[in-house]
Amino acid sequence: MTAVHVLNGPNLNLLGKREPAIYGSASLEDIRKLLEGKCAAKGVSLVFKQSNSEGDLISWIQEAGAVGAPVILNAGAFTHTSIALYDAIKGAQATVIEVHLSNVYARESFRHHSYISPAVRGIIAGFGPQSYLLALEAIFANI
């Protein structure tokens, strides 16, 4: 493995400002720095991206799948709406770990269903920025 791709969906660029009682005070840049240090220690590159566009996420999943790179995906609200992301994961044969900062099952009922979960390797939710680190550890240990 030469790189881990961390892909972040809509509104995650607002982390640290958006509903800190739910999402915490860490910014997306703070999360990137945490992961970058862990990857560097393992000699692995980090590809870290965020977009509010579903199409960007689809393209990035396909790119990672094409080179066999594992993906940590926080699809944000697209988790609960996007069959296209499910299709991208399946079609690209990407190894994906789905992450959520909050415990989506302790929130609004519309957040209880994930369209992408059936296509991913595993799901980590509810541990704030630690969710990303747990996903990274799972990648290092199992992929």
Kindly report, residue by residue over 64-81, the tens digit of the pLDDT. Answer: 999 999 999 999 999 988
Phi and psi at 109, nearest 5°, equal -60, -30
Please pick, among 100, 105, 112, 113, the residue that the annotation labels catalytic: 100
Report which of 12, 10, 18 is spatially closest to residue 52, judged by C-alpha positions. 10
- 45: β partners: 3
CA distance 40 to 115: 32
Q: Are 94 and 86 in contact (CB under 8 A)?
A: no
Place of tokens 């519309």: 110
CA distance 100 to 79: 10
Q: Is 23 a catalytic residue?
A: yes
Please pick, among 23, 86, 115, 132, the residue that the annotation labels catalytic: 23
Supply the pLDDT for residue 90: 97
Task: Check residue 9 and give left, alpha or beta (phi > 0: left; psi -120 to 50: alpha).
Answer: beta
pLDDT interval class at 22 (50, 70, 90): low
pLDDT in tens, 84-135: 999 999 999 999 999 999 877 766 676 667 999 999 999 999 999 999 999 9
Domain ranges of the chain: 3-142
Supply the pLDDT for residue 1: 65
Q: What percent of the chain has pLDDT over 90?
A: 76
3-142 maps to which CATH number? 3.40.50.9100
Report which of 49, 56, 107, 47 is spatially closest to residue 82, judged by C-alpha positions. 56
Q: Is 100 a catalytic residue?
A: yes
